[in-house]
Structures are given as structure tokens and as C-alpha cells.
Structure 1
Amino acid sequence: MTTIRDVARVAGVSPATVSRVVNGLIGYSAETQRRVEDAIAQLGYEPDTLARGLRTKQTAVIGVLAPVVSDALASEIMSGVEAAARVRGYSVMLGRTGPGSTFAPGYLRTLRTYRAAGVILISAAITPEMRRALGSGIPLVSVAIRDGQRFPSLAIDDEVAAYDGTRHLIALGHRRIGLLAGDPDSVLVNTARKRGYLRAMSEAALAPVIAHGNSLYDSAPPALADLLARDAGLTAVFALSDEMGPAVVNELQRRGRRVPDDVSVLGFDNTRTSQHVHPALSTIAQPLERMGELAVERLLTDGLPSTGPVPRILPHRLIERGSTAPIRPARPNPPRNKEQS
């Protein structure tokens, strides 16, 4: 079995230098790094992260748990996590936990056994059960969801963001604005966004119209049908995810309604999917990649405590694209010809 001493001998450096290169630390030249990496490739050396974890009580691994809320949202947060982890010499282990974080405690127990350096939870609240499964010695932070009274988190202010989005549609002249909300059981995100919408509608003395999907693409067409059954004359729809937003655009067009001429559509998140529809989706942008980067920084640099509320509110912004426009006069019904009379 190849050891770190074998790599050091072939590379002509000390075992300590090999260790620094393997762990992405500083203190060596580019030439030294090249020699060590060549020796590792030549000998087929694989660092024993578990053995190192037993010595240091920590492995160079960050766990990320991503409930199935939005593949696009989780993917963009993961891009930030992986970039920040790589710079610091850490690897990332991803676990998909299913709706409601069903499998999260099991993953957390595995990461505890593996002596992970920290765990990032995407779009899910940190529960007491999760905290017990992970133990008190490993930092845990939640991203894209917040509850400042209970757990450390990095997120935007969802209520203010939804308020701003609704106010934007009102400023465009829309008065019949439907909300396509997410899972009604999602108290920390969906309920906060609904509060923002309802506050803006109330201030403008407008009647709210709300239907629920589950934030995913396939849930949007039936939810839109429900919304239109409540008010067939809606001139704007605010979809609270960028997976539902494109589905709304496509379904409206299938029904013969032009976007944005007949109905404006606003999304939420600014994932890449928001631009993969025609017209491109106007949306409320979350700094998703930056959230991932900051989560790694807080776990590894700031010494984030494993318990106690340490929320950080990040800025959101409105991105206007082709799916929203000022309200336009309704199209007149086409004249009936004599044969139709």
C-alpha cells in the first residue's frame, strides 16, 4: 500500500509538504505542487481521510443535504459550495433527502461517523432530531430558508422579496394578480412569501387570488387551472419558484393567452431555468451561488457554533425580462360574421 512517505520520497519533499499539498494548504511553490501531484499520479496514492479524521477528529469533508424542492435551486447553491470548498482543500458529499427531509437524520448520522467538518442544509429547517443525529460538535447551517429564533441560516427576507415582486406588478398597472404559491406546509418560506403578497395587495386595496403547487414544474399547470377558475380575468401571475414560472408561461400560451400581452408572469429565485422559456422570465433573484460560498466560509472560517440562532439576511433583487409588461387594454372580441349570426 502506497503511503505518504512513498510520495514524499518520489517527489523529493517531506511528508509534511505532501500533506499540505493534499489538503490544499499553503507553504509550497508551484513546482513543488507539480512534483507532488506527479508522484501521487505515478504511485496511485489515495489519502486515507478516515484515518486522518481519527487523528484530527475531523475529515476534509463537507456534507450537503438537499431536499427535493427545486433541482435548479439546489444545483446553483451547490456550485457555490463546491467552489468555496475546493479552494480550501475540502470535498463535498451530497445527499438527496426527499420531501420533508425524510432521510436527513440518517445522512447526518453517517456524516457524524465520518467526522465531517460541517454540514449545509439546503431549503430545509434544522430540527432537534437533525441536531441530535449530527451531535453537538459538528457545525450545521441552513441555506435559502431562515428562522432567526431557532437555527443558524443564510437566506433572503422572503416576505419582503414577495412584497417587492407584488408591488412591481401593481406598479405596472395590474390589479388582478394571482399568486401561485408553493407547499402550504412550508411555513418558513411559502408562508413568508404569501404574507408579502397579501400585504402588498392589502395596501393597494386589491383582492388576493391564491392557488398552491409544490414549487416543481409539473405542479404548476393544475395549480394555474385552479387559479384561473377563481378569476379568469387575471392579468398577472406571480409564481413563487422559477420551476413553476416557466410552466405557467407555457400553460398560458397553450390556453391561447399571450405573455406578457394578456398575462404578465413573475417568477422567484433567478435560477438558470428562468431564461429557458420564451419570453424569458422576470423574477426575484436570490444570490444562490453566493449563499453556497458563504455557507462554507461560515462553517470553516468563522467558527459557526453548532447551536443558537445566527441568521444572516442577504439582498434580493428584481430582474425584469420579457414575461412582464405594463397592463394593456383587453383584446376586443372579434366581430361575428353573418354565418355565425
Structure 2
Amino acid sequence: MVSTISDIAKIAGVAKSTVSRYLNGGSVSEETKKKIQSAIEETDYSPNPFAQSLKAKKTNIIGTVVPRLDSYAASQTLIGIDEQLKKANFQMLISNTSQKIEREIESIYSFAKQKMAGIILLATEITDLHLQAFADVNVPVLLIGQEHKDLHSLIHDDYHAGYKIGEYILEKGHRKIAYLGVTEKDIAVGVKRKKGFQMALEGRKDCEVRYYETEFNIPSAQSAAYKIINEFKPTIVVCATDNIALGVHKVAYVMGLTIPKDLSVTGFGGYEVTEIIHPGLTTAKFFYKEAGKKAAENIIDLINEKQLDQLTISKFEIIERESVDNLLKGTL
């Protein structure tokens, strides 16, 4: 049976408040200390670190705000954060906001009231409300996934990943290209990936490129894919995320198209499922778990008031699989 402060107080013959004061380093007489310590040893009592932190002036808990939990990128990032925080004797408390900005703002204020040592926000968009909340709470804050000039941020190299994907498909001979992106409110995914891609294709008069927009989920991507394939008939669809690419992949199958012979597809992310599906998806792989670990290190440095670069950029790698046809084969 788990022992409590009440059990310790009863055995030691003191008030619960006295036990609580002792556990939190408050003033207690030497005689009382011995009684409490003896009771703790007798019951093998282990203090609740979360409860202790809430009573302390400075906690060891990092509040982490997540837009959605059913995301490979988010879950891998959280695993990395958690593993690294544990090594440094910190804990993580998660708030899932279901992609609602008002809940993100509420979580920031709530974490501050709970005396979080720092706040990590896996951001999709930074609004004036976010900036006001960060200013109000006066708690060290780190963004993951988005960059802001007034905040410490850790981002993936979306621009150069987009550029490399653009270079790659050109090298494979694709000239009739559809780019299926997301809202430009998301600067990282919606703007930077597309801009990098556009820069790789800049000045290519031999290319016909059309840009489309969808949501992050697979059903929305499927709806967009039907329209793109029927109206434009591209040789390749470059997708802003792996989930979007999976939606296109499914539509191609339903329409009787063979990947990559009839339609090539690429993504961004490097989700595990992209290796399992057939054919495997060519994608720009981001290292989410490693980014999470680095984010944990950065927030601890901010808490300890150590010097830290305003921006940290996580690496990427182009993973070449079977989903992109080489249209130049046999022409060299």
C-alpha cells in the first residue's frame, strides 16, 4: 500500500503541515526531523515529485503544448523531449490542444500558474495572442517547428529540404509537376517548404508546375488528389507532408494507376510507414526525436540562464525509395 503524508504524520505524532514543511525544506526542529525521518524509513515513503514541484518556488517540470497527439512528428518529438528531460531530472507535462489556438493560449497561462520551469510549444502558427501570452507569463519559452525573431526557436530545415526535393525530381526528368501544399499560415510547412521547392525550379521554362492546397489529414489530401490527377494529369505530385503523400498514394491505387510508372509521389517527414508501404515513398526525412532531445537541452539552458543561440536548425536527409520514376532512363 502506498504511504501518504497523513501516514507519516500519524506515526511521527506531528501535524501534516509539519511533515509537508519538512519535505519542502522548511524550518523544523531537530527532534521533529528525526521523528519524521524515522517514519519515512518505516513506511518507505516516496514524495510525489509533481506535488513537491508545485509547492516549490522553482519546479522541475516543463509544460509542453502540442497541437495534436495523433501525429508521427509530434509523438517522436515528445519522446525525444521526455527522454532528455528525464536524464536531467526534469519532467514533462503535456497539453494537447486539438489544433485550437485558443486552447494553446489557455495552456500557456495555465502552465505559468502551475509554476512550470519552462514552456515548449510545438507550434504551427504564432499569433499576436501567443506573443502577448509569452510576455505576460514571464516564463522561459521555446518554439519547435516555427521561427520567430523575438523567441528562441528550434526548426527543421524546411527551405533546404524543399529545395533538395525540387532538385531531385528535376534530375529524374519530371517537367509536369503538381505541388500539393498546406495553408501559408503555417510558415514552416506552408511557406518555407514551398519556397525552397520553387527556388529549385526557378527559371525552368521547360516545366509546367501547378500549386494546390489541402489540409494536413489524409481524407482532405485524397479529395485534392482526385482533382489534380483528373484535371492536370501530372507525372509527379510533390506533397508537403508524408500524410498528404499517403492520401495521393491511396487515390492512385483506387484509380488504377501504378506508382511510379503512371504517377510519381514524394513527401516530407520520413514517417516509419513510408518505408512499409509499397512502393516505398521517397521523402525528405526530418529527425524529430533528435530535435526533441535538442529542444529539451535548449529549454534547460534557458531556465538556467545560459547563453543560447536564438535559432537552432535540425538536419534532414533525402530518402530515395521507389515512388519516383526516372523519366530520363535510356535517354543518356
Secondary structure of the residue aligned to 1:238 is strand
Q: 1:51 to 1:222 in 2, by over 3 A?
A: same
Matched pairs, number: 300
Q: 1:230 to 1:100 in 2, by over 3 A?
A: farther
Structure 2, unpaired ranges of 5+: 12-18, 24-39
Q: For 1:195-234, what aligned pairs fall within 5 Å after superposition?
A: 195-205=195-205, 206-232=207-233, 234=234
Alignment partners' CA distance in 1, 2:303 and 2:176: 48
Give the deviation of 1:5 after TM superposition.
Answer: 11
- Contact 2:62–2:91 (Cα < 8 Å) also in 1: yes
Q: 1:4 to 1:40 in 2, by over 3 A?
A: farther
Equivalence for 1:86: 86
- Contact 2:125–2:187 (Cα < 8 Å) also in 1: no
Alignment partners' CA distance in 2, 1:305 and 1:243: 38
- Contact 1:79–1:292 (Cα < 8 Å) also in 2: yes
Equivalence for 2:178: 178
Alignment partners' CA distance in 1, 2:46 and 2:132: 36
Equivalence for 2:55: 54
Q: For 1:1-341, what aligned pairs fall within 5 Å after superposition?
A: 2-3=4-5, 43=44, 45-47=46-48, 49-55=50-56, 57-68=57-68, 71-134=71-134, 135-147=136-148, 149-205=149-205, 206-232=207-233, 234-303=234-303, 310-327=310-327
Alignment partners' CA distance in 1, 2:58 and 2:235: 55
Query: Deviations for 1:217-245, whole angstroms, at most 9, x for unmatched residues?
Result: 1111111123224411x111111111111
Secondary structure of the residue aligned to 1:93 is strand
Alignment partners' CA distance in 1, 2:70 and 2:123: 9
- Contact 1:84–1:297 (Cα < 8 Å) also in 2: yes
Alignment partners' CA distance in 1, 2:126 and 2:309: 11
Query: Deviations for 1:67-96, whole angstroms, at most 9, x for unmatched residues?
Result: 139611111111101111121222222112
Percentage identity across aligned positions?
A: 20
Secondary structure of the residue aligned to 2:163 is helix
- Contact 2:146–2:187 (Cα < 8 Å) also in 1: no
Q: 1:248 to 1:112 in 2, by over 3 A?
A: same
Q: 1:267 to 1:40 in 2, by over 3 A?
A: farther
Alignment partners' CA distance in 2, 1:189 and 1:304: 31
Matched to 2:61, the amino acid is V
Alignment partners' CA distance in 2, 1:210 and 1:69: 29
Q: Which moved more, 1:117-126 or 1:73-82?
A: 117-126
Give the deviation of 1:113 after TM superposition.
Answer: 1.1
- Contact 2:226–2:251 (Cα < 8 Å) also in 1: no
User: TM-score by structure 2 length?
Assistant: 0.79
Matched to 2:4, the amino acid is T
Alignment partners' CA distance in 2, 1:325 and 1:133: 48
Alignment partners' CA distance in 1, 2:168 and 2:295: 30
- Contact 2:69–2:96 (Cα < 8 Å) also in 1: no
RMSD: 3.3
Alignment partners' CA distance in 2, 1:204 and 1:266: 20
Matched to 2:200, the amino acid is A
Q: 1:328 to 1:100 in 2, by over 3 A?
A: farther
